[in-house]
């Protein structure tokens, strides 16, 4: 349901943040500062967030549909 999708989204965000921490080592940009930077255009940042979130929801819904079809054919 919606709680699972939100949990999965939070987990994916956490994994992405940890990956960014590893990639920022040795670049001369401390990770905390890079995360706190605000984009110049917040509208574009929010739009990108909505697109990414909606894409994740579509993928999860498609996966759920495939699992339901598989269960239906297995019975």
Q: How do residues 1-52 score in pLDDT, each as one tens digit?
A: 788 888 888 888 888 777 777 766 666 666 656 666 677 788 877 887 888 8
For 18, the enclosing helix (H) or strand (E) is helix 2-24
Q: Quote the CA–CA distance of 56 and 52 in Å, as a whole number.
A: 6
Q: Quote the CA–CA distance of 56 and 19 in Å, as a whole number.
A: 18
Segments of 1-75 assigned E as strands? none
Contact 17, 35 (CB under 8 A): yes
- pTM to 2 decimals? 0.45
From 67, 43, 47, 56, select the one nearest 15 (Cα to Cα): 56
């Amino acid at each position: 349901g919606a709680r699972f999708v939100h949990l999965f989204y939070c987990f994916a965000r956490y994994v992405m943040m940890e990956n960014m921490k590893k990639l920022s080592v040795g670049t001369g940009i401390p990770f905390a500062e890079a995360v706190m930077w605000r984009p110049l255009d917040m509208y574009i940042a929010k739009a990108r967030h909505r697109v990414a979130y909606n894409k994740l929801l579509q993928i999860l819904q498609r996966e759920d549909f495939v699992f339901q079809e598989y269960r239906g054919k297995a019975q």
